[in-house]
């Protein structure tokens, strides 16, 4: 009885403080257009999105349900016509919500002035250049950076999607190749450093050239011939922008997001139905749970 009392007292002395990494889904690349923006990036364990400081940890209580949603990646724009990539979906952990990436801008090669600008998001979508004005999408403060602008004159290249890191994370402005996707941000919350939330590369034009490279951290490359790369699953990376070649202008889809939580090892977590996850791993006096997809509840017991 004395031992049980000591154990109970020890639990009471260790609060349920949870560190987190919450990355939203990346956006799809535009048709003949810009790279998809990376999903918003928020963390209490290291540098947060757009080079901002770590956010406050969550102080939670036992026997209480907390909602979690893993944001899916946005699909690429349609294979013909003028279409931006779709935005990524938000990822949520209790009161923490990261904004989905902004879709890459869309243009066409028909000689018209029809154009869709890169979309705003966690990180902004790259601007398309196909007879348009190359307008980029904007990122969200403390989550991600802006996309890169496209060119509205020869050689008509599109901008890269924004990434989550302030260091080179604005999507590259188009030049003789599609703009590069913005860089992602590294986190060691699991014990090993992993970079996530890179932007997708901007598309090449319809007469040749090279698509932009995807940003480090799961951004998809844009290719001239064939379908551009998807953002990496569970990275929040943006999809590469589609090229302007007839019949081969498909952009890449955005990569899904992820939620990672770290909490004192005296607590046992219950992950509700609807969420897929890896079994908790131990890191010193803490446990780490990686949540990969779905929507559901988390709770803890001492």
Q: Is residue 250 part of a domain?
A: yes
The rounded radius of gyration (Å) of the Cα atoms in the chain is: 20
Whether residue 106 has pLDDT greater than 80: yes
Higher pLDDT, 301 or 80: 301
Q: Is residue 241 part of a domain?
A: yes
Distances (CA, A) of 57 to 14, 46, 94: 14, 11, 12
Strand partners, 138: none
Q: Is residue 262 part of a domain?
A: no
Query: Residues 162-177: pLDDT tens digits?
Result: 999 986 556 666 677 8
The C-alpha atoms of residue 260 and residue 35 are separated, in whole angstroms, by: 26
Domain that holds residue 157: 31-43+67-256
The pairing of strands 185-187 and 194-196 is antiparallel
Q: Domain count of the chain?
A: 1
The C-alpha atoms of residue 265 and residue 269 are separated, in whole angstroms, by: 10
3-class SS at 2? Answer: helix
Q: Is residue 210 part of a domain?
A: yes
Query: Residues 185-240: pLDDT tens digits?
Result: 999 999 999 999 999 999 887 666 788 999 999 999 998 877 899 999 999 999 99
126, 163 contact by CB (below 8 A): no
Q: Give the residue carrying structure tokens 């810009």.
A: 34
Whether residue 24 has pLDDT greater than 70: yes
Q: Is residue 2 part of a domain?
A: no
Q: Is residue 19 part of a domain?
A: no
């Amino acid at each position: 009885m004395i031992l049980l009392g000591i154990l109970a007292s020890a639990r009471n002395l260790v609060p349920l403080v949870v560190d987190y990494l919450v990355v939203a889904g990346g956006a799809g690349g535009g048709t003949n257009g810009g790279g998809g923006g990376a999903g918003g990036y928020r963390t209490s364990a290291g540098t947060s999105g757009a080079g901002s400081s770590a956010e406050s940890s969550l102080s939670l209580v036992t026997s209480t349900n907390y909602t979690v949603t893993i944001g899916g990646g946005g699909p690429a724009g349609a294979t013909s016509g003028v279409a931006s990539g779709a935005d990524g979906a938000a990822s949520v952990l209790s009161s923490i919500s990261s904004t989905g990436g902004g879709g890459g801008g869309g243009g066409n090669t028909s000689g018209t002035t029809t154009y869709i600008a890169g979309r705003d998001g966690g990180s902004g979508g790259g601007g398309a250049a196909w007879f348009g004005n190359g307008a980029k999408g904007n990122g969200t403060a403390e989550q991600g950076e802006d996309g890169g602008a496209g060119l509205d004159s020869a050689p008509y290249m599109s901008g890269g999607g924004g990434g989550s890191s302030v260091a080179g994370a604005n999507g590259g402005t188009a030049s003789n190749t599609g703009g590069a996707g913005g860089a992602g941000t590294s986190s060691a919350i699991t014990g090993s450093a992993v970079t996530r939330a890179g932007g997708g590369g901007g598309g090449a034009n319809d007469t040749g050239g090279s698509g932009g490279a995807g940003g480090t951290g799961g951004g998809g490359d844009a290719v001239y011939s064939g379908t551009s790369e998807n953002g990496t699953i569970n990275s929040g990376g943006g999809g590469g922008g589609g090229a302007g070649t007839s019949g081969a202008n498909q952009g890449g889809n955005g990569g899904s997001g992820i939620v990672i939580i770290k909490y004192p090892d005296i607590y046992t977590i219950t992950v509700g139905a609807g969420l897929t996850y890896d079994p908790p791993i131990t890191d010193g006096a803490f446990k780490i749970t990686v949540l990969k997809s779905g929507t559901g509840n988390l709770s803890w017991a001492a």
